[in-house]
Structure 1
Amino acid sequence: MDASVLTVATIAAALVVKTALNEIRSPGSARQEWACVTDGVAMLSGAVAALCLGAMGWYYAGYGAVAWAGLAGILVAYLTGQRHTGA
């Protein structure tokens, strides 16, 4: 396993902790924050970004790049969902 996978896991954990803390402060905020999961346009754009980056990254850098591509896909879906919902 590549050492950069641990960095991706740390960033993903930080996103989960951030969402949990916001949910504690304001119940229901997690559902609003991650509404992109139910938005088809956001999920499709994230999946396309992850697939393209993952395919290129795996070819050049191996499995560590695939983990980063997955994180990038999640962030693309998150940002696209925020823009699409107007939040």
Structure 2
Amino acid sequence: MTGAASVRTVVIVVAALVIRTAIAKLRKPGSAHKQWAFATNPRAICIGAGAALVLGIIGWPSTGYAAVAWAVLAGALVASIVDHRPRGQ
């Protein structure tokens, strides 16, 4: 996969996540804040940033900027997994 195609794939995945959030918000107002609450958890952000940094360093020699795009996406997903708050709060 070329660098441009790889970055395009990341953009498509991020767009799908944003659309998913928008649909959830239309169905139940306030749910978007619950889905993205991990962004306010300092522990989750630090762990996600660490994962993104490691993945970016590992992937940089092979794909360059495409590795950075994938690393940022993976870091955000790791941060959302690390956030252990119940979704109802």
Q: TM-score, normalised by structure 2?
A: 0.89
In the TM superposition, 1:48-67 aligns within 5 A as 48-67=50-69
2:10 to 8, 11, 20: 8
* Deviation at residue 65 of structure 1 after TM alignment: 1.2
Q: Which moved more, 1:54-63 or 1:67-76?
A: 54-63
* Deviation at residue 76 of structure 1 after TM alignment: 0.5
Kindly tell me the number of residue pairs found equivalent between the two proteins: 85
CA distance, structure 2, for counterparts of residue 86 and residue 74 of structure 1: 18
Q: Percent identity?
A: 51
In structure 1, the residue corresponding to 2:4 is in which secondary structure? coil
Q: TM-score, normalised by structure 1?
A: 0.91
More helix by share: 1
Structure 1 stretches of 4+ moved >3 Å = none
Structure 2 unmatched runs, 5+: none
CA RMSD of aligned residues (A): 1.1
CA contact 1:42–1:78 (8 Å) conserved in 2:
yes
